[in-house]
Amino acid sequence: MQVSRSGYYAYRQRQTQPPTVDKVELAQKVRSCFLAHRRRDGARRLRAELKTQGLAIGRYRVRTLMRSLG
């Protein structure tokens, strides 16, 4: 097949990623989680909380959403 080993595994990794969530829905989840924790948690704790809910999101995306939501 003439495909590099690393390229093959990168392809397999891309296939197993969870489906993307709509940006509006993602912002609503971040906002509701933030309000549930009485506006005290930062991006790191919110990301961990969203991960326990089964949502794969990065810390910097949470931070960007928090900034855009004010």
Is 17 domain-assigned? no
- Structural domain count of the chain: 1
CA distance linking residue 1 with residue 68, whole number of Å: 46
Got the DSSP string for 40-68? ---HHHHHHHHHHTT----HHHHHHHHHH
pLDDT tens per residue, range 41-51: 889 999 999 99
Instruction: Kindly report the pTM of this predicted structure.
Output: 0.64
**In 3D, which of 54, 51, 52, 30 has the Cα closest to residue 42?**
30
pLDDT tens per residue, range 12-30: 888 666 666 788 888 999 9
Is 41 domain-assigned? yes
Is 44 domain-assigned? yes
Percent of the chain with pLDDT over 90: 43
Instruction: For residue 51, give its domain range.
Output: 22-69
Q: What local confidence, expressed as pLDDT, does residue 31 receive?
A: 93
Is 42 domain-assigned? yes
Q: What local confidence, expressed as pLDDT, does residue 49 receive?
A: 92
Query: What b/e readout covers 3-39, taking b as 16+ CB neighbours within 10 angstroms?
Result: eeeeeeeeeeeeeeeeeeeeeeebbebbeebbeeeee
Q: What local confidence, expressed as pLDDT, does residue 56 receive?
A: 83
Is 12 domain-assigned? no
